[in-house]
Structure 1
Amino acid sequence: MSIEQSNTVPELDFNTPAQRRLRQARMLKDKLAASSIAIGGISVILAVVMIFFYLLYEVAPMFRSADIEPWGGQEEVTYPVPGSGSTLYLAVEEQAEIGFRVTDTGEMIFFDTVTGQVRKTEQLALPEDVSVTTFSLLSEASQTFAFGLSDGTIKVIKHNYKATYPNGQRVLIPELVYPLGEAPLQVANGPIQKLAINRDSDEWALIALSAGQLTELTLSLTENFLTGEVEIEESRRDLPAFNQAPNKLLMTPDHRWLLASLPLGRVAVMTLGNQPEVSELIEATKGEITSFELLLGGNSLIIGDSKGRLSQWFFVRDEDNEYHLTHIRDFEHTPDAITNLTTEQRRKGILTLTENGTLNIFNSTANRNVLREPLFDRQADAMALAPRADALLVQHGSQLSFWHVDNEHPEISWSAYWEKVWYEGYEEPEFIWQSSASNNDFEPKYSLMPLAFGTLKAAFYAMLLATPLAICGAIYTAYFMVPSMRRKVKPFIELMEALPTVILGFLAGLWLAPFMEANLAGIFVCLLVIPIAIVLFGFTWNNMPNKIRFMIPEGWDAALLVPVVILATWLGLGLAVPVEDALFGGHMPTWLSNEVGIPYDQRNAMVVGIAMGFAVIPTIFSITEDAIFAVPKHLSYGSLALGATTWQTLTRVVLPTASPGIFSALMIGMGRAVGETMIVLMATGNTPIMDINIFEGMRTLAANIAVEMPESEVGSTHYRTLFLAAFVLFLFTFFVNTLAEFIRQHLRKKYGSL
C-alpha cells in the first residue's frame, strides 16, 4: 500500500437518503415530544382552572340575595278575602296550593291561593251567646291552634291536607282535625282573655287567663291497646298572676317557662314546675312590643317593637346552673314599627312587615338581612309563609296578594362561617360545626373555623415529626453515606411513598392508637432514651480500638445504629411501667385527665402526627436528598481544599446551595399533609373541635368533605358549604404554593452565584 493511500481519510457523506430520513425522523420526534409536553402542561393548567371555576360555580348560589315577585311571574296576584270577619290566622299548605283563614267569628275557610276560590268552609260550633274571645297558635309547623271562648272553654283544632291521586292526578283534600275531641274543654268560669297552648308527645298543656287569674290545664292522652279508645286524664292548677295584664302568652315546648309580653316593652318569665313563680321581669325594649313569637323549635323568643327594633332572646345557664332569658342579638331592621311577624317552619328564618309595607327577611343564626323590599304602601293585616318558605300570602284590608319567595340559602354569612356565633342552648358564642341532627328543629352550625384549625393542626404535628427526620436523613444519605449504601437506602425509603394511606390510617386507628394509650409513658421515655443511646454509642464507637472499627467497611458504620435504636426502644418501653407507677399513678392518660386537666382521646393529634409524618417523610426525603446530591462537587471540594471542615462545608456551602430544593420539599410535604384524607379520617376522633392539645382529636377540611358529602342533599346549603370547604382548601394550597415559589426563586437568586 502506498503512503498516499494509507493517509487518505474516508469521506463521510451526511446527505445520503438514509441520513436525510434519519434527520427527518429525529425532527419529527422532537416536535412530537415538544408538542406532547406543551399539551400536557396546558392540560394540567386548564384542569386546575376548571376545578377552580367548578368549585366557584357550586359555591356562588349561596351568596345570591333573596328575591320576591308575584306568584307565577305575573304582574300581580290579588283577589278578595274569602269569608267575613277579622282575620285571626292565615296559613298556606306545603304545596302552596291551598290557603287557610280563621276569623274572629269562628269561620275557617280553605281557598285556592292563586285564584281565591273557596274550596271548603267550616263554622266553629258555638252555643248561643258564646263567642270567640282569643286565639292561640301552637306553632307554625304544627298547624295546630286553639280558640278561647267567652264561656271559659277551649277548642283545639288542626288543619290538615291529604293527597289523593284519582286518574293519576294529585288532588289535595283539606280537613279539620280535633286532637282533643270536638267537645270544648272547660278551663275557666269566665271569658278567656289570653291563651297559650303546648304539646309534648301525648302531653298537652293549656294556660288561660280569665278575670286576672291564670289557670293551667294539663291533659295526658293514653290509647287503650285493646279497644283503641283514647283516654284523657286531666289535671289543673292555678298559677301566680303577673303584675300587669299580658298582651300575649307563649309557652316553651318543654313546658318549663311561660313567657308574657307586657306593656312598656317588658317581658315576664314564669317558671313552670312544682312551685310556679314569676322568676324574671325584663325590659326587653324601649318601645311597645308589637310582635312576640317563638322561633322554630321554641327555644328562641323573637321580639319586634313599635320603634323597629327586632331582637332574639333565649335561655342561657349561668355559673349557678340557673337559666335566665338573655338578649342574644339585634337584627338590622328599619326604624319603622313592626306590625306583622312570622317565622319559617323549617329554618331559623324571620319575616317582618313594617307599618309602611316594607318586607324584611332575616336568618337568626347567620344574623343576616336576606331581603329588604318595599312591597306595599301601607301596613298589612295578616301574612302567612308556606312551609317550604317559597310562598307568601299577605292580607291588606279586603284583598289578599300571593307572592313567590326565592330564598335558597339564608343560613350562611361571613360571621356564620368564620366568626363565633351564639347558638341556641350554648352558654356563650362559639365556633361549632354540626351540619345535621335527628330532629327538624335543629339549628345548623356551619362554622369552618374548627375544620380549618384541624387541618392546620394535623399538618403541623405531621411536619413536626417528618421535617427533622426527613431532612437530617437526606443530608446524611446525600453527603456522608457511601454510594454503595446509598443505592440501597434511598430506594427503600422512596418505596415507603407507595404505601396506600388507607393502610396507614387503618394501622394507626386500630393498632397504633390503642398501643400509644397503653404505652404513653413508654413513648415519652423512648424519646429520651433513644437520643441518649445514639450519642453514647457514637462516643463509644469513636473511642474503640482501630482494630475493631476497621472491621466494618468504611461508610457502613451507620448501619450499627439500627440495633442500637431497637435496643433503646425495647429498654424505653421496659422502663415505662416503673416510671408510670412512680410518677403517673400507674396510668398516664388518666393522670393527665384527672391531675393536670388535659383531656386524653385515644385517637388524637399525636397518633395523626406519627402516621401522617410517616407518609410525608418519603416525599420530603426524596426531594431534599436529590437537591443536596445535585450540588456540584467542585463547590464542596473547593471548600475543603481551602481548609473548611466537613460541617462548615455542609452548613455554609452545600445547604445554602440546595436550599431552594429543600424548601420545595417542605412545601410539597406540607401540601401532602394538608390534603391528606384517609389517615386523618381513620386515626382521629373526627371531632370538629378547636383545641391545640396534642392528646385531642380534630377534623380536617378534607376529612369532613369525605365524611359528609355522600349524605348531603344535592343543592342544599350543606352541600354547597362542603364545596366551599373544598374551595378554601384549594385557595390555601394555591396560596402556599405561590408563596413557596416566590421564596424558592429568591433563594435561587441569592445562592445561585456560589
Structure 2
Amino acid sequence: MSIENTSAPQIDFNTPAQLRMRKFRALKDRMASGSIAVGGISVIVAILLIFFYLLYEVMPLFQSAKVQPWQQNEQAIESYPIPGSGNTLYLSMEEQAEIGVRVTDQGEVLFFNTLNGSIIKSETIDIPANSSITGLSTISDPLRQFAIGFSNGDALVIQHNYASSYPDGERVITPSLIYPLGKAPIQIGNRPLKLLGISHTEENWNLIGGDETGLTQTKISVEENMMTGEIETTTESEALPQFNLKAQKLLLFPDRRWLLVAGKSTLAVVDLKAEDGPQTTQVIEASKGNITNFQMLLGGNAVLIADDLGKVSQWFLIRDEDTDWKFTKVREFSGGNAAIVDLTIEHRRKGFASIDELGTLRLFNTTAERNALTATVVEGTADSISYAPRSNAMFIEKDGQLSLLEIHNEHPDVSWSALWDKVWYEGYEEPEYIWQSSAANNDFEPKYSLMPLAFGTLKAAFYAMLLGTPLAICGAIYTAYFMIPAMRRKVKPFIELMEALPTVILGFLAGLWLAPFMENQLAGIFVTLLFVPIAIVAFGFAWAQVPNKYRFMIPEGWDAALLLPVVILATLFSLSVSDGIEGILFGGDMRLWMSNELDISYDQRNALVVGIAMGFAVIPTIFSITEDAIFAVPKHLSYGSLALGATPWQTLTRVVLPTASPGIFSALMIGMGRAVGETMIVLMATGNTPIMDMNIFEGMRTLAANIAVEVPESEVGSTHYRILFLAAFVLFMFTFVVNTLAELVRQHLRKKYGSL
C-alpha cells in the first residue's frame, strides 16, 4: 500500500483584497494614533493656555509703580512758575487732574491749568480787618474742604467745587468756592489761630484752634427750619486744658472725640468727651527725632507721623485688656535717612507718598506695608507735594516752580504679607487673617487675605473626604471582592449613576433641608452614627447563629441585602430615642450645652453639612475607580493565595489591596480634586463666611465659592478682580501639585507591587 504525498493548501496573503485590507487597517491605525496624539496634545495645550491666561491676569498685581513727567501729545510737560504770589498754604487738583487750586498766605485762591499754570479763575478771601492769615488746616481731601485761621482768632471753612457741563459736546469744568458755614468768619478764641483742627458731621461741627499758649474748642450745631427752610446755628465754646508741650499741629478725629496734639517729638492724646471734661489720656514719644509732618490717613482712623530720621509711622487707637483706648504704633515705613519734608495722602486708598530733603519720592501702601516706588524726582529739597484724587498725578512745588507728575500705581495694596500673613487692620485689636473685599463706604480698607479661603477649601475637602473615603473604599472592596456577580451588576451601576446628579441639586437639598434637619436633630445624628454600626455588627452576629436551613433560604450572596432594612430601622430608632438621650445628657438642648460647657459655637450651615453633602458627591468617583482597580487584580493571584491556605481576609489585605493600591490612590486623589474644586455645594450649604476655624459646626468659604460669588460683582481690571484670578491660579497650582505628587506615588506603588 502506497501513500501519496499531498501538499498543504497554499494561502495567498498578498491578494489584492488582502493588500487593500492591510492598507485600510494601517490607515485606521495611523488615524487612531494621530487622533489620540492630537487629543492628548490639545489637552496639554488647553491646560497651558489656562495657566498662562491666569498668570497674565495676575502679573499686574506685582508690578512696581512708575512715575514720569505728565505726558501731553507724547511730550513731557515741563515745570512752570507757580501761579500767583506769596507762600503756598494749600495745593490740590480736581478729579480729572486738569485744574489745580492754590491757596496763598495773601488770601488768594487760584484755579489754574495743571499743564501750563495759566490762571482760570481767581478769588480773594475776605480777611477780617486788622488781621492776617496765620494757619490753614485740611479738613478732608476727598471732600475738598479746608479751613483758614486768622490772627484775630476767627476761622473760615471753605470747599472748592467743580461742575462739569458739555456745551457743543465738549466738557467744560467750572471751578467755584463753597462756604459750608457761611462767608462770615467764625469766632473761635482770642488767640491767633496758628493751630487749627476741624471735624464735622452733617449737622455738628467741632473747631479747635489757638497757638502754643492755649487752645479753644467751639461746637457748632446746624439745624434747618422745616417750615421756613432757614439755617439756624448754635455755638458753644470752651477752653481746653494745657498739654505741657509746645504744640506744632492738631488733628481732630472724625468722631469729634479724640484730639491729637503734636509737639517736637511727642504726641498728646486728648479725650474731648471724658466724664470729667476734656483731659489728656496719653503723652507718647512719637519719634526718636523731630516730627516734620503729621496727617490723617483716609477714613480718619489712623495717623501718619513723619520725622527727620526718614521714617514714617502709622498709629491708631486700640482697646487694651481694660477696655481703655490706647494710641498705638502699628507699623513703620523707612526708605532712607534723609528728613521727610512732606506727606500727601491718597484720596481713595490706604496709601501715601513722602518726599525727603534729597528729592526722593516714595509711594507706600499701609495695609500691604509695601513701598511701591522709590525715585528721585527733583534735585534738592522740595517745598510740598499733593496727590490727585485718582492718585494718577501729583504736584511737586520747589523754589517757585510747579511740576506735574504722571503716576502709574494700579495695585499698591497687594503684597505677599497682605495675601498670606496676618495684617493689623484699622479698628482691630491685633493682626488677623481677614477676607473682606467690599463695604458700604468709600473709606473702607480692603482686606484681601487668601488664607481664610485656602483654609476653607482644605477644611471642606477634609471633612468631605473624612466621610466619603471610608464608605467609598469599603463599599468598593465588598462589591469587587465579596459580592456575587449578579448583585454587583445591579449595585455598581446604581452607585455610579449617583455621579450624574447635579451638584447644584445636592447643594440645594443640603442648604434648605439637610442643614435645618441636622440643627433640630443634632443629638439624633450622633446617636445614629454610634448606633447604626453597632446594629450592623449585632445583626451579623445574630445572622451567623441562625440555623443553616433558614439561612440557606436566602440565595448565596444576597444576604447582604438584609442590611438595608437594618440600617433604616436603626436610623429611625436612633432618631426616635434621641430626644430622651438629649434631655438626660445635655439638658434638652445639645447645641446650647456645647456652647455653654465646651465653648463650641454652632452655625446651621456648617462643615458637617458640607461633609455629608460633598461626601455624597465624591463617593461615586472614589467607589467606581477603586472598584475597578480591585476587580482588575488577576484572579490567579487570589486563587493562589487561597490555595496556599490564606483566608479570604488575608488574601484581600496582603495580595489584592497592595496590587490595586495604585488605582485606589488615584481614586483618592481624583476624589480630593473633586472636593477641592467643588463650588455649588459649599456655596449653598455653608454660611459662606471666610473664617479660620476648624470647628466642624462652623462654616467656611472656599476659593472656588468665593470666585463664583464675587467675580460678577468685581470691576474688570481692578485689584479685587485680579486677586480673584490669583485665587483661581492658587487653586489651579494646588490641583496641579497634588496631582503631580499623586502620580509619582502611584508610579512608585505600581513599580513596587507590579511584580506580584
User: TM-score, with normalisation over the residues of structure 2?
Assistant: 0.98
C-alpha distance in structure 2 between counterparts of 1:580 and 1:715, whole Å: 54
Q: Helix, strand or coil: the match of 2:265?
A: helix
Q: Which amino acid aligns with 1:122?
A: E
3-state SS of 1:327 partner: strand
Partner of 1:152: 153
Name the CA distance, whole Å, in 2 between partners of 1:36 and 1:329. 60
* Paired amino acid for 1:336: A
Report the equivalent of 1:471. 473
Paired residues of 2:132 and 2:151 also in contact (CA < 8 A): yes
Q: 2:520 aligns with which of 518, 521, 529?
A: 518
Q: Which residue of 2 aligns with 1:447?
A: 449
Aligned amino acid, residue 85 of structure 2: S
Helix, strand or coil: the match of 2:374?
Answer: strand
Equivalence for 1:47: 46
Deviation of 1:11 (Å): 5.2
Q: How far off its partner does 1:10 sit?
A: 6.1
One of 550, 553, 561 as aligned partner of 2:552? 550
Equivalent in the alignment of 1:143: 144
Deviation at 1:99, TM superposition (A): 0.7
C-alpha separation between the residues in 1 aligned to 2:626 and 2:495? 13
Corresponding position: 1:123 with 2:128: no
Closer/same/farther in 2, CA of residues 548 and 7 from structure 1, 3 Å limit: farther
Corresponding residue of 1:327:
329
1:707 to 699, 709, 719: 709
CA distance in 2, matches of 1:615, 1:571: 27
What is the CA–CA distance in structure 2 between the aligned matches of 1:590 and 1:200, rounded to whole Å?
Answer: 43
Instruction: Report if the CA contact (8 A) 1:267-1:283 is conserved.
Output: no
The separation in 1 between residues aligned to 2:549 and 2:6, in whole angstroms, is 62
Kindly indicate whether residue 313 of structure 2 is the aligned counterpart of residue 311 of structure 1. Answer: yes
| Alignment partner of 2:690 out of 663, 682, 688 | 688
Contact 1:242 / 1:268 at 8 angstroms: preserved in 2? no
The whole-number CA distance in structure 2 between the counterparts of 1:585 and 1:389 is 60
Residue in 2 aligned with 1:731? 733
Instruction: Describe the SS at the equivalent of 2:640.
Output: helix
Shift of 1:226: 3.6
Alpha carbons of structure 1 residues 181 and 551: separation in structure 2 relative to 1, 3 Å: same
Aligned to 1:254: 255
The structure-2 alpha-carbon separation of the partners of 1:628 and 1:238, relative to structure 1 and needing over 3 Å to count, comes to: same
Query: Mean Cα displacement is larger for which, 90-99 or 198-207?
Result: 198-207
| Superimposed CA distance per residue, residues 532-573 of structure 1 (whole angstroms, 9 cap, x where no aligned partner) | 100100000011100110011111111000000001101111
Q: Give 1:20's aligned residue.
A: 19
- 1:295: which partner in 2? 297
Describe the SS at the equivalent of 1:571. Answer: helix
Query: Does the CA contact (< 8 Å) of 2:434 and 2:447 recur in 1?
Result: yes
Contact 2:211–2:247 (Cα < 8 Å) also in 1: no
Letter of the aligned partner of 1:738 in structure 2? T
Q: For 2:274 and 2:390, locate their aligned partners in 1 and report how far apart those are by CA, in whole Å.
A: 36
8 A contact 2:243–2:268 mirrored in 1: no
Matched, 1:234 2:238: no
- Whichever residue aligns with residue 617 of structure 1, its letter is I
Corresponding residue of 1:69: 68
Check conservation: 2:77, 2:115, Cα contact below 8 A.
no
Maintained 8 Å contact 1:96/1:391: yes
Cα distance in 1 for partners of 2:3, 2:315 equals 114
Corresponding residue for residue 29 of structure 2: 30
**How far apart, in 2, do the equivalents of 1:167 and 1:381 lie?**
40
Range with greater deviation from structure 2 (205-214 or 662-671): 205-214
Measure the CA separation in 1 of the matches of 2:568 and 2:184: 85
Residues 1:185 and 2:186 are matched in the alignment: yes
1:491 deviation in Å? 0.2
Residue 722 of structure 2 is aligned to residue 720 of structure 1: yes
1:168 corresponds in structure 2 to 169
Aligned partner of residue 139 in structure 2, secondary structure? strand
Percent identity reads 65
Report the more deviating stretch, 417-426 or 145-154. Answer: 145-154
- Relative to structure 1, is the Cα distance of residues 174 and 645 closer, same or farther in structure 2, using a 3 angstrom cutoff? same
CA contact (8 A) 1:296 1:348 kept: yes
Whole-angstrom CA distance in 1 between matches of 2:642 and 2:10: 50
TM-score scaled by structure 1?
A: 0.98
Deviation of 1:309 (Å): 1.5
Shift of 1:333: 2.3
How far apart are 1:17 and its partner, in Å?
3.4
Q: Is the 8 A contact 1:271 1:279 kept in 2?
A: no
Shift of 1:210: 4.9
**Contact map agreement 1:108 1:124 (CA 8 A) in 2:** yes
Q: Which residue of 2 aligns with 1:752?
A: 754
1:614-648 deviation line (CA, Å, top 9, x unaligned): 00000000000000000000000000001111111
Corresponding residue number in structure 1 for 2:562: 560
Of 90-99 and 196-205, deviating more is 196-205
Bigger shift: residues 222-231 or 430-439: 222-231
CA offsets 1:189-223 (integer angstroms, 9 cap, x no match): 23222110111222211111257332211222222
Q: CA deviation at 1:132?
A: 0.5
How far did 1:13 drift? Answer: 4.1
* Structure 2 counterpart of 1:52, one-letter code: F
> What SS does the corresponding residue of 1:748 show, helix, strand or coil?
helix
Match of 1:285 in 2: 287
- Give the Cα–Cα distance (whole angstroms) in 2 for the partners of residues 190 and 638 of structure 1: 106
Question: What do residues 85-123 of structure 1 show as CA deviations (whole Å, max 9, x unaligned)?
Answer: 111111011100011111111111010011110001111
Q: Which residue identity is paired with 1:91?
A: S
The alignment status of 1:82 with 2:91, answered yes or no, reads no
How far apart, in 2, do the equivalents of 1:568 and 1:12 lie? Answer: 72
2:360 maps to 1:358: yes
- Identify the residue that residue 592 of structure 1 maps to in structure 2: 594
Q: 1:159 to 1:273 in 2, by over 3 A?
A: farther
Structure 1 unaligned runs (5+)?
none
Q: CA deviation at 1:5?
A: 13
8 Å Cα contact 2:268/2:280 also seen in 1: no
- 1:313 & 1:496 partners in 2: Cα distance? 57
Contact 2:419/2:449 (CA < 8 Å) preserved in 1? yes
Alignment partner of 1:641 is 2:631 = no
Aligned: 1:615 with 2:614: no
1:238-297 CA-to-partner distances (Å, cap 9, x unmatched) read 222211231000001111200010123444444434521111100111111001001000
Separation in structure 1 between the aligned mates of residue 269 and residue 539 of structure 2, nearest angstrom: 78
Deviations 1:702-725 (A, max 9, x none): 000000000000000000000000
The structural deviation recorded for 1:6 is 14
Moved more, 227-236 or 716-725: 227-236
In structure 1, distance between residues paired with 2:599 and 2:467: 25
Q: Distance in 2 between matches of 1:669 and 1:120?
A: 70
1:379, distance to aligned residue in structure 2 (A): 1.2
1:487 matched to which residue of 2? 489
- Between the two proteins, the alignment pairs up a number of residues equal to 752
Instruction: Give the Cα separation in 1 of the matches to 2:728 and 2:352.
Output: 30
- Aligned partner of residue 395 in structure 1, secondary structure: strand
On the 8 A contact 1:262/1:268 being kept in 2, the answer is no
CA distance in 2, matches of 1:27, 1:269: 92
Amino acid at match of 1:281: V
Q: Deviations over 1:108-161 (max 9, x none)?
A: 101001111000111111233211111111021111011111121111000011
Distance 2:60 2:560 in 1: 60
Q: Per the alignment, in what secondary structure is the counterpart of residue 281 of structure 2?
A: strand
Query: Which deviates more, 396-405 or 25-34?
Result: 25-34
Note the C-alpha offset of 1:75: 4.4
Unaligned runs of 5+ in 2: none
Q: SS where residue 263 of structure 1 aligns?
A: coil
Deviation at 1:385, TM superposition (A): 0.5
Aligned counterpart, 2:504: 502
Query: Which residue is equivalent to 2:115?
Result: 114
Residues 146 and 155 in structure 1, CA contact (< 8 A), matched pair in contact too:
yes
Specify the code of the residue in structure 2 equivalent to 1:51: I
8 Å CA contact 1:258, 1:272 repeated in 2? no
1:227, distance to aligned residue in structure 2 (A): 3.0
Could you give the per-residue CA deviations for residues 472-530 of structure 1, whole angstroms, max 9, x where no partner exists?
00000000000000000000000000000000000000000000000000000011100
